[in-house]
A and B are shown apart, each in its own frame.
Chain A
Amino acid sequence: MALDASLVGATYPPTAPYLVTAERVAEFAAATGGSWAPGAPVPPTFPIVLAFAAMQEFLDAEQVALHRIVHGEQRFAYARPVRPGDELSAVLTVASLRTIGGNDVVGTRSEVTDAAGALVCTASATLVHRGEEASA
């Protein structure tokens, strides 16, 4: 299905609160070529865990299958580093939507905030929704 241009500006429900634990950070660091011990900086791409959950809220709401999505671009701007003990949540807004060659190109912005509601990171993603020529 094609996504409707009227989605621009739409905001989706906040993701369930996510507690950043030492174990989760260590697991993520090990999965991205590194290692982590308490006191070390959290890998800067860690907030993708929140941004991905926010994207899943969007896809579910719009009934888009994840396997039709290819990640086109990702940017992070950090207000502060993530730290173990943070309880984070993300809210996604559709920033732009174009159709190119039968694919929807969706610009999204997810704001990752802490338990106090303070901004930790803005994660901007371009999602390419591949056309429906093949079905699964």
Chain B
Amino acid sequence: MSGLAAGDVLAPRTFAVTRADLVRYAGASGDRNPIHWSDRVATAVGLPGVIAHGMLTLGLAAQAVSEWTDGAEVVELGSKFTAPVVVPDDDTGVEVVVAATVTSVDDGLVRLALEVTCGGQKVLGRPTAVVRA
């Protein structure tokens, strides 16, 4: 693989997320929860507005991992969804930024501590990926 070493800081990746992306993700994933497309339902259940699927955000993080590691096999991936990514009903949407540090390289496994932010705020809690080197 790409010679990652503990302590390496990887170049952040930025992804734009629009309402259209939420619709596309809903179709691809099967998750048609209306909190991801209806402001009326989202606000009725106490959310600030339509929010991105947590799994879309984690999917973008996984895409960044794939780019950093040249498509290395992922053996573990996980995160808490700690803050909503509110996606406005406009053409530009919001930006999700994925950064990472290599925390260990051990026994052929590379562990990455990710940091995923939107508008400067962390939206995922302790997102972590482990890939096979």
Contacts and interface: CB of A to CB of B under 8 A. Distances in A.
* A and B: interacting chains: yes
Interface in B38-81: 41, 44-47, 53-56, 58-60, 62-66, 71, 73-81
Interface of A: 24, 27-34, 40-41, 43-45, 48-49, 52-53, 66-78, 81, 124, 126, 130, 133-136
A33 B15 contact: yes
Contacts of A67: 33-35, 41, 45
A76 B76 CA distance: 6
A47 B29 CA distance: 9
Interface of B: 15, 21, 24-25, 27-35, 41, 44-47, 53-56, 58-60, 62-66, 71, 73-81, 125, 129
B132 to A, nearest CB: 10
Nearest to B21: A31
Contacts of A34: 63, 66
Nearest to B64: A33
Given A30-B28, A31-B21, A32-B59, 10 more contacts: A27-B28, A29-B63, A33-B64, A45-B55, A45-B62, A66-B34, A75-B76, A76-B77, A77-B76, A130-B45
